[in-house]
């Protein structure tokens, strides 16, 4: 599926470890759910979440005691085309905001009881020289330098990255997933930060879903009508100039993608290989998830779609993967905010499954009268 074994054997290795979920565990979970003090199926998707967790983990009584959201940060050369309402410097500024605990993802991750790992995978700034560390009192926030590029190049005039750089971005995500699985984390969330990153995400959506650019391109940070028309033209020009191959997701990532999108793709692959559920945030995160899905469709079994973004291309990508969003709250911030909120719903489903009394325990009749 678009792999060059001479270059990306680590990706091939992780793909061989992604297996379909075991249907037997769905049956075990369903039997317990049907024995709880409620009419069958009456808690709707909460029951679905619990069944999926049991099947993904192969654990009849799974735990979600350690949760983490990875916020990948990267800059984009296409920002020079005025496709965003904000300047490129905001990417760097927001990374520091994450580390100071002042961003939306910090607030909602705290609410969900999840850690936040900020990953510099492609910001056009030397954070190592700045020695960034979390300054707010929380053991749940970390900064990790995994820089592959100092920002991507302008996709309107050439590829975003070399193929080797795109591969390395995917490998970064795989490595993080494996490391945090070994550290005992039970569920991952995806997030991102990168000014102009809805532009490469729309390009990926157009190429991999086969939809026209105009049908998958939205306003991002809230641009005007004129700016939106320019953005659509920029993406059309980028696809025409680079000719990304829909059959080769790594080629698509390298030609019209972004570093943080590649990191998210790798995180999804690594989560699936380690049987860790992964909650996909919004539009940009879903572009990364779609890259992973096109590399290995079985990754779908391990993904939860957090929400339905306001960005118009989001639905097309979710439909391509056959994923149904958990929430619909008109969100369009990114960072992992939707993933944090969806984790609360997923955990609620698990608590119902584990803590609700059975008919026998409660002394309640489960006989249905005709």
Query: Residues 16, 336, 271, CA angle at the centre, nearest 5°?
Result: 15
Give φ, ψ of 166 to 5 degrees.
-60, -45
Instruction: Provide the 3-class DSSP secondary structure of residue 319.
Output: helix
Active site residue 179: no
**Catalytically annotated residue among 48, 165, 311, 335:** 335
Q: What angle do CA 178, 184, 186 make, to 5 degrees?
A: 85
223 and 209 in contact (C-beta within 8 Å)? no
CA 159 – CA 156 distance, rounded (Å): 8
Beta strands in the chain (DSSP E): 67-74, 114-122, 141-145, 187-193, 278-280, 303-305
Nearest residue to 239 via CA among 155, 151, 162, 316: 155
d(CA 7, CA 15): 15
Instruction: Say if CB 200 and CB 261 are below 8 A apart.
Output: yes
Neighbours of 142 (CB within 10 A): 16
Task: Provide the b/e sequence for 160-185 (b: ≥16 CB within 10 Å).
Answer: bbebebbbbbbbbbbbbbbebbeeeb
- Separation between Cα atoms, residue 298 and residue 15, nearest integer Å: 9
Which among 166, 176, 207 is positioned nearest to 3, based on CA atoms?
A: 166
Which residues, 6 or more positions from 251, have their beta carbon under 8 angstroms from its beta carbon? 2, 163, 244, 245
Whether 288 contacts 265, CB under 8 Å: yes
Task: Give catalytic residues, as residue numbers.
Answer: 335
């Amino acid at each position: 599926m678009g792999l060059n074994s001479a270059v990306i054997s680590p990706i091939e290795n992780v793909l061989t470890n992604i297996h379909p979920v075991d249907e037997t565990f769905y049956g075990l979970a369903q039997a317990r759910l049907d024995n709880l003090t409620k009419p069958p199926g009456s808690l709707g998707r909460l029951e679905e979440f619990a069944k999926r967790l049991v099947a993904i983990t192969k654990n009849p009584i799974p735990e979600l005691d350690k949760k983490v959201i990875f916020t990948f940060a990267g800059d984009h050369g296409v920002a020079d085309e005025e496709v965003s309402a904000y300047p490129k410097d905001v990417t760097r500024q927001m990374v520091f905001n994450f580390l100071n605990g002042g961003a939306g993802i910090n607030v909602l991750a705290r609410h969900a009881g999840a850690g936040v790992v900020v990953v510099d995978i492609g910001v056009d700034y030397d954070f190592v020289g700045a020695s960034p560390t979390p300054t707010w009192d929380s053991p749940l926030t970390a900064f990790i330098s995994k820089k592959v590029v100092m920002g991507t190049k302008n996709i309107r005039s050439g590829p975003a990255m070399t193929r080797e750089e795109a591969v390395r971005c995917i490998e970064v995500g795989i490595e993080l997933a494996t490391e945090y699985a070994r550290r005992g984390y039970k569920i991952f969330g995806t997030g991102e930060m990168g000014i102009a990153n809805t532009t490469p995400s729309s390009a990926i959506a157009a190429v991999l879903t086969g939809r026209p650019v105009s049908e998958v391109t939205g306003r991002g940070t809230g641009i005007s009508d004129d700016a939106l028309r320019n953005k659509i033209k920029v993406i059309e020009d980028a696809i025409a100039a680079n000719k990304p191959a829909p059959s080769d997701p790594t080629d698509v990532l390298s030609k019209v993608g972004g570093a943080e999108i590649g990191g998210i793709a790798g995180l999804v692959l690594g989560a699936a290989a380690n049987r860790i559920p992964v909650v996909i945030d919004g539009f940009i995160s879903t572009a990364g998830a779609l890259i992973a899905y096109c590399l290995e469709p079985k990754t779908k079994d391990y993904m939860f779609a957090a929400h339905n973004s306001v960005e118009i291309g989001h639905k097309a990508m979710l439909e391509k993967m056959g994923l149904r969003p958990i929430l619909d709250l008109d969100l369009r911030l990114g960072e992992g905010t939707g993933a944090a909120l969806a984790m609360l719903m997923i955990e609620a489903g698990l608590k119902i499954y584990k803590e609700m009394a059975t008919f026998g325990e409660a002394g309640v009749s489960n006989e249905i009268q005709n």
